[in-house]
Amino acid sequence: MTDAATPATLDPYAASDEVLSAALGDEPRYRLVQLRAWLARGVDDPEEMSDLPAGLRRRLADVLAPPPELVAQTSADGGLTRKVLLRMQPSGEEIESVLMLYPAGGERERARATVCISTQAGCAMGCPFCATGQAGLRGQLTVGEIVRQVTVMQRLLASGEIAVEGAPDHVTNVVFMGMGEPLANVAGTLGAVRWLTDAERGFGLSARSITVSTIGLVPAMRQLTALGLPVRLAVSLHAPDDALRDDLVPANRSHPLAEVLAAAAEHAEATGRRVTFEYVLIDGINDQPEHAERLAALLAGRGAAHLNLIPMNPTPGVSWTAPPVAAQRAFCRRLTDAGLPATIRANRGTDIDAACGQLYATYQLRSGRILPAAIGAAERLDGTRR
């Protein structure tokens, strides 16, 4: 977090009223209300705050961290998926986020505009199937850097620059499923959730429209629960037992399955929202009938809201692939036959590297990075394939 003493780095989305008032100087109190109203609408460039006097706008521009630069946009799925590359200011960090539009009458009943946002530049967790993990961790995002991914999309929708018939003209849902592990950046993630759900001074999104995905960093899961907001928790499982999960999700060695599931149950109990689980299907690694059976047994009676099966998306430098479609369906059927509400996730944006686990792939290729220690896990598991 920044403070008023640091010029042009003050994060307007993390600043208290006192800090913003200090930035406003001798201005009358209603200026703070005006500034907050602009921020709540996603306008964070002082130059655009037209009801503030020009001198004050200039002074604010000297203090507030500037909005991110929209470096590139790509679209896929007939315009329903849009990936943007944002250069954050003043850090210069480049971040990808994805907008997914679901028009009414499409695959869901209510029209939705969902933004998938990043919480870190890269990720330190090293899951061997994930492109973001291969880049390592380059940095934490601030509250402002996280919420600005939402406000950029909101403005693209509101201005009509992104417009699809039957789709909303504003952001309806936010999923913390982009780059990084949200609960390895607790300050950024919780601060962003607070601002996004603040009806008075923030974005005013219902907590029920927000999903935080985690590999299960147990102490931070409890901090999220302690927020007391009915945010949807999605837990990335990927394996039905600790032995396999230790390799696929290295953090499992510190936070084994039983602890992760207990913390997930506490969240459900405290918020009244059942937990969603995610499971990346990797051919020959975690997709065998016995994996499905153990997974069903592991989750039986836990009141899972849903289990999303995500066929593995291609990751540079990793030879693993998704199982054939028939095998994916057979795996899913074993789970549903056992009473688990499971479906295979329809992928968005695979051809523009915008799908699950693909963000940051381009940087990895550009910088010529080689895979870190995670490659060891991949090799070890490949040795145990059928």
Residues that bind ligand SAH (CB under 6 A): 129-130, 177, 181, 213-215, 236, 278, 280, 310, 312-313, 315, 356-357
Length of the chain: 386
Q: How far is the CB of 365 from ligand SF4 (least distance, A)?
A: 17
Largest CA distance in the chain: 72
Q: Could you give the angle at the alpha carbon of 185 between the alpha carbons of 180 and 191, nearest 5°? A: 120
Alpha-carbon distance of 292 to 330, in angstroms, equals 9
Q: Is 278 exposed, middle or buried (0-12, 13-18, 19+ CB in 10 A)?
A: buried
Chain positions 328 to 367 lying near ligand SF4, rule: CB under 6 A, are: 357
Determine, following the binding rule CB under 6 A, whether residue 181 of this chain makes contact with ligand SF4. yes
Does the annotation mark 94 as catalytic? no
Does the annotation mark 266 as catalytic? no
Determine, following the binding rule CB under 6 A, whether residue 130 of this chain makes contact with ligand SF4. yes
Nearer to ligand SAH, 19 or 116 (CB): 116
Determine, following the binding rule CB under 6 A, whether residue 133 of this chain makes contact with ligand SF4. yes
Segment holding 276, helix H or strand E: strand 276-281
Alpha-carbon distance of 6 to 94, in angstroms, equals 22
Determine, following the binding rule CB under 6 A, whether residue 125 of this chain makes contact with ligand SF4. yes
Nearer to ligand SF4, 43 or 355 (CB): 355
Nearer to ligand SAH, 41 or 306 (CB): 306
Find out whether 115 and 150 touch, Cβ atoms under 8 Å. Answer: yes
Nearer to ligand SF4, 144 or 357 (CB): 357
Three-state DSSP class for residue 253: helix
312 binds, among ligand SAH, ligand SF4, none (CB under 5 to 8 A by kind): ligand SAH
Nearer to ligand SF4, 20 or 234 (CB): 234
Find out whether 195 and 215 touch, Cβ atoms under 8 Å. Answer: no
Q: At what angle do helices 257-271 and 218-226 cross, to 10 degrees?
A: 0
- Both tokens of 139, joined, read 């940095």
- Both tokens of 79, joined, read 């315009």
Catalytic: which of 96, 145, 181, 278? 96
- Contact residue for ligand SF4 among 127, 153, 196, 296 (CB under 6 A): 127
Interacting stretch for ligand SF4, rule CB under 6 A, among 118-126, 141-149, 197-205, 287-295? 118-126
Q: Which residue has the tokens 């996730």?
A: 345
The catalytic residues are 96, 356
The contact set with ligand SF4 (CB under 6 A) reads 123, 125-127, 130, 132-133, 180-181, 215, 357
